[in-house]
Amino acid sequence: MSSLIILLNIISLIVPLLIAIAYFTLAERKIMASIQRRQGPNVVGYMGLLQPLADGLKLFVKETILPTNANIFLFVFAPIITFVLSLINWAVIPLGNGQVISDLHLGILYSLAISSLGVYGILISGWSSNSKYAFLGSLRSAAQMVSYEIPMGFVLLTVILCVGSGNFTEIVLAQKNVWLLFPLLPLSILFFICCLAETNRHPFDLPEAEAELVSGYNVEYSAMGFALFFLGEYGNMLFMSAFISTLFLGGWLPFMYLSFIPGSLWLGLKICIFVVFYIWARAILPRYRYDQLMDLGWKCFLPLSLSFLLFIAGILVSFDWLPN
């Protein structure tokens, strides 16, 4: 019976998540169209509301093309890895008080480990495609994700130091009086920029640079292979938005005295804020050169995040504010 309850909990999380990913793509196209003074999707359904379903159906019924010289098993397996990893990350995110599939004591470490594993799907796809463009895109992506995970790790260490726990529920409850966004504002901005790079999003979408690499690591993919990469990428963006909301915006905790609104709805609203930031960044910012991207990660963000970690640790020790 308990295994059935766990299965129902997983399904009740995955189905709304897939729907959210589908309509994230519609929101992106609509908001970007508004910024660029266009209409965006407006044909399929009322105001284009059925467009994501039509796109999904189109990818589902298309023929899967397998390159002649590709390693077929790894070629098919790579998008599955990316998609599955983007889903299992959500197991430790609390959607409300007690509404979490697995309330791990080291939830932050789990999320960081799963995010690090995501690079394997991209590397395998680039190598197994037997295409120079896909391989270059996968190498770029691997270097980029590894580079930006280090400053992200230092930011997470700072949060753990302030709260005294790596458990997401305890991190949220520690923000009852004040969200960590306010005392750690520079770190929250740095963390969001790292999330842009971690998810290969504009202005750090160098692995998918159309002008240089055609489409990067997924250039040889079509139909459901491409769809799984697409779902994995947008699922990672939603997860990173939930991650930042949990760490810095109090997760499900309400704003001020608006406690009559359910906690899961509050978390959804906070995720939507960061989703808009993702879209806004793609619409208005120019793409970095690859050397600029790596310089930013290693020469700017890494020293900054390490300095803030030592600074916050010094303040906590000096004033004896270390959590028990």
Joined together, the tokens standing for residue 185 give 């504002």
Give the per-residue pLDDT at 190.
92
The answer, yes or no, to whether residue 178 has pLDDT greater than 90, is: no
- pLDDT one-digit tens code per residue, 109-136: 898 888 888 888 888 888 888 888 888 8
Give the per-residue pLDDT at 192.
92
- pLDDT one-digit tens code per residue, 17-53: 888 988 888 889 899 898 888 888 888 888 888 888 8
Give the per-residue pLDDT at 1.
57
C-alpha 75/C-alpha 82 separation (Å) is: 12
Over residues 228-257, mean pLDDT: 86
The answer, yes or no, to whether residue 213 has pLDDT greater than 60, is: no
The answer, yes or no, to whether residue 261 has pLDDT greater than 80, is: no
- pLDDT one-digit tens code per residue, 217-239: 778 888 888 888 888 889 899 99
CA–CA distances in Å: residue 52 to residues 12, 169, 283, 309, 323: 20, 33, 20, 42, 46
Confidence of residue 207 (pLDDT cuts 50, 70, 90): low
Nearest to 83 by CA among 229, 234, 237, 238: 229
Mean pLDDT computed over every residue of the chain: 85
Give the per-residue pLDDT at 158.
92
Contact 293, 206 (CB under 8 A): yes
Residue type, 319: F
Taken in order 212, 274, 93, 176, the sign of the CA dihedral is positive
Confidence of residue 311 (pLDDT cuts 50, 70, 90): very high
More confident residue, 5 or 188: 188
Give the per-residue pLDDT at 294.
87
Over residues 47-76, mean pLDDT: 86
Give the per-residue pLDDT at 214.
62
The answer, yes or no, to whether residue 174 has pLDDT greater than 80, is: yes
Give the per-residue pLDDT at 209.
63
C-alpha 36/C-alpha 214 separation (Å) is: 24
